[in-house]
Amino acid sequence: MGFSAQQSRRRGLRLLPIVAVGLILLFRYFTTETFVNSETGEAHKVALSVEQEAALGLSSYQEVLSQSRVIESGPEVDMVKRVAHRLTQVVPDSARNFDWRVSVVDSPQVNAFCLPGGKIVVYTGILPVAQNEAGLATVLGHEIAHATARHGAQRVFQQQSLQIALSGARGALGDMSIEQQRAIMGLLGAGAQYGLALPFSRDHELEADRLGLHYMARAGYDPRESVAFWKRMMENAGDKPPEIMSTHPADSTRISQLEELLPEAEAEYQQQSHRASAYDTPTRTP
């Protein structure tokens, strides 16, 4: 009886951290801000306010520019700003008041990004792959969608929740040897990484592709160019890790999804292209 009572007591003590973490996570879930994406109708928990996101985005933007060779004028800058302007006119109302800023950086990097709050940076290295305004609209529509969907704030919430959960698991292993704790925590960490964090990031990338496709169609850019762009990206890509080990979906996955979405986006392009006439002639791929 004494031994059984002692075992029960140990099990109870081991469960205490798990119960405590469960209560903390429930409290966080019900008290954290919920963001409803007006494009998808889906509700998401976000760990940052819009103001906090904007402040962090501006700080990161300024830091990037301070370390880069920014191009202030020229045809490339004009094109980037023209495409960005058209796209930011068709984002959801919740993002219309972002302090949108656009900068072009002289760099061979095949990259572009949009920070929270609407700070856009385009590296000249991606322009040859984009080839035209519709290709660039594919890139910028995707990056802008990360900001309008508040993916950064969603990731912060997920990361903080995972850290709390792993801390509770570590507390429950307190009576084990250091070697056992390390082995179990290593397995839990890998499970969280490959089973939750990376799929979460890939889902965001695919959602940004979907939203960006609609943005470019509404702005008067032929959505068929999105597929052409990603085929060029696939041809120019070097060695990449398997999709399951990456924060991004495979290019083939992205292309497959875009091809499925094209009929709807093409219909929207046909219906909405007159909106773009106020800014420029709609771009259509022959």
Q: Which residues are part of the catalytic machinery?
A: 143
Report the C-alpha gap between 69 and 60 in whole angstroms.
Answer: 16
Name 1's Cβ contacts closer than 8 Å, sequence gap at least 6.
Answer: none
**E strand or H helix at 173:** none
Cα dihedral angle (186, 24, 45, 116), rounded to 10 degrees?
-70
Query: What distance in Å separates the CA atoms of residue 134 and residue 137, rounded to the nearest whole number?
Result: 5
Q: φ and ψ at 113, to 5 degrees? A: -155, 160
**Distance of CA 126 to CAs 39, 51, 211, Å?**
28, 30, 20
Residues 6 or more apart in contact with residue 157 via CB below 8 angstroms: 32, 45, 46, 47
Residue 48, CB-side half-sphere exposure with 13 Å CA sphere: 21
The DSSP symbol for 89 reads T
Question: Would you give the end-to-end CA distance of the chain in angstroms?
Answer: 83
Going through the chain in order, the beta strands assigned E by DSSP cover 34-36, 43-45, 70-71, 101-105, 112-115, 119-123
